[in-house]
A and B are shown apart, each in its own frame.
Chain A
């Protein structure tokens, strides 16, 4: 039996797109650098998989196809950054250098704080969503996120899911989550 027949391709593609969007958001290079997009990363990852005559040697015993391709995708992102490194300096420094007179992204720690600050700013006045963000800060990450948030907030996982849906329906949050894509589309 063909071991690839049971792959849920739609789910796989969605997952890779979301993981790629997260990498691009956290890397936060901004539009000022001729960088990669989440879509580029997914295309390159799937191209590598399809171009390999044995599907990168994947079989179920080695782990899920999602885990394998998420790893490939991450390596593709590192390759992109490494190619820029000779222009931008260390991948880790974020020291305020510039490329062609354009400022580099904020330092990693500052970027992370910015996401948090911007989220709180965007939900300001909505007590339920403010509570959701506060609860997120308390997460241990030990088990199912919605369940853990539900325990903190005294809500069911479904109610937590609905709150997240409400959060993502806020335009600013949507842009923050998919920052790169939105910025690209505007230009």
Chain B
């Protein structure tokens, strides 16, 4: 009977630590991808493979099927916004409108990640200010 299991298929400690890739956040996925394939461009890799398949279909006088065409369209190298699809333009607009995550100097944003502790009073003040800010944002969203 054929063996349909991989040897050592049980998750090791690194698998446990990071969880299944399908459930990773975009940030964690990017972090791990950079670890396993530093400098690699996913779009370029997909485009290269889809292009190779498309050539094979055309050589057989066939039109590349929907999934190959979809991959080619989605990963085409864009040099001007004139060529961009509405969905890509929407993605760009969403990214521009979203908050920017990055290191900050202001402890109001970063004290929870600091290794040197602020005292309890400072933390309480910052927590209160954070709460007020959240309430302001919620009010704005409601409007």
Our verdict on whether A and B bind, yes or no, reads yes
In the bound complex, residues from chain A placing their C-beta under 8 Å from that of B68 are: 50
B7 near A92: Cβ-Cβ < 8 Å: yes
In the bound complex, residues from chain A placing their C-beta under 8 Å from that of B26 are: 11
B71 near A9: Cβ-Cβ < 8 Å: yes
Listed by A's residue number, 9 A-B pairs whose Cβ atoms lie within 8 Å are A3-B66, A7-B70, A15-B21, A18-B32, A26-B15, A38-B36, A67-B22, A164-B28, A164-B31
In the bound complex, residues from chain B placing their C-beta under 8 Å from that of A164 are: 17-18, 28, 31
Judged by DSSP, the binding face of A is: helix
A64 near B71: Cβ-Cβ < 8 Å: no
Whether B2 sits at the interface, judged by CB under 8 Å, is yes
A133 and B43 alpha carbons, distance in the complex (Å): 34
- Name A residues whose Cβ lies closer than 8 Å to a Cβ of B: 2-5, 7, 9-15, 17-19, 21-23, 25-28, 38-39, 42-43, 46-47, 49-51, 53-55, 58, 64, 66-67, 70, 74, 77-78, 81-82, 85, 90-92, 94, 108, 111-112, 115-116, 119, 132-133, 136-137, 139, 141, 144-146, 156, 158-159, 161-162, 164-165, 167-168, 174, 176-178, 181
Range for the number of chain B residues in contact with chain A: 35 or more
A77 and B5 alpha carbons, distance in the complex (Å): 10
A50 and B45 alpha carbons, distance in the complex (Å): 13
Which residues of B in the span 78-132 have a Cβ within 8 Å of any Cβ on A? Answer: 87, 112-113
In the bound complex, residues from chain A placing their C-beta under 8 Å from that of B75 are: 9-10
Chain A nearest CB from B134 CB (Å) reads: 15
* A-B residue pair count with CB separations less than 8 angstroms: 184
B2 near A18: Cβ-Cβ < 8 Å: no
Q: Pick the most buried of A9, A19, A92, A168: most chain B CB atoms within 10 A of its CB.
A: A9
Whether B133 sits at the interface, judged by CB under 8 Å, is no
A25 near B14: Cβ-Cβ < 8 Å: yes
B49 near A92: Cβ-Cβ < 8 Å: no
Partner of B36, one of A11, A17, A55, A108: A17
B66 near A27: Cβ-Cβ < 8 Å: no
Q: Contacts A22-B15, A159-B112 known; A46 to B22 CB distance under 8 Å?
A: no
Partner of B21, one of A3, A19, A38, A116: A19
Partner of A82, one of B2, B12, B15, B35: B2
A115 and B11 alpha carbons, distance in the complex (Å): 11
Q: Whose C-beta in chain B lies nearest to the C-beta of A3?
A: B66
In the bound complex, residues from chain A placing their C-beta under 8 Å from that of B71 are: 4, 7, 9, 50
B30 near A94: Cβ-Cβ < 8 Å: no
B33 near A176: Cβ-Cβ < 8 Å: no
In the bound complex, residues from chain B placing their C-beta under 8 Å from that of A108 are: 7-8, 10
Chain B nearest CB from A67 CB (Å) reads: 7
Chain A nearest CB from B112 CB (Å) reads: 6
In the bound complex, residues from chain B placing their C-beta under 8 Å from that of A174 are: 35
18 extra interface residue pairs, beta carbon distance < 8 Å, beyond A50-B68, A54-B65, A112-B8: A9-B43, A13-B46, A17-B36, A17-B42, A18-B36, A26-B10, A27-B7, A43-B49, A50-B50, A74-B6, A77-B6, A78-B4, A82-B2, A145-B17, A145-B18, A146-B19, A164-B31, A176-B14
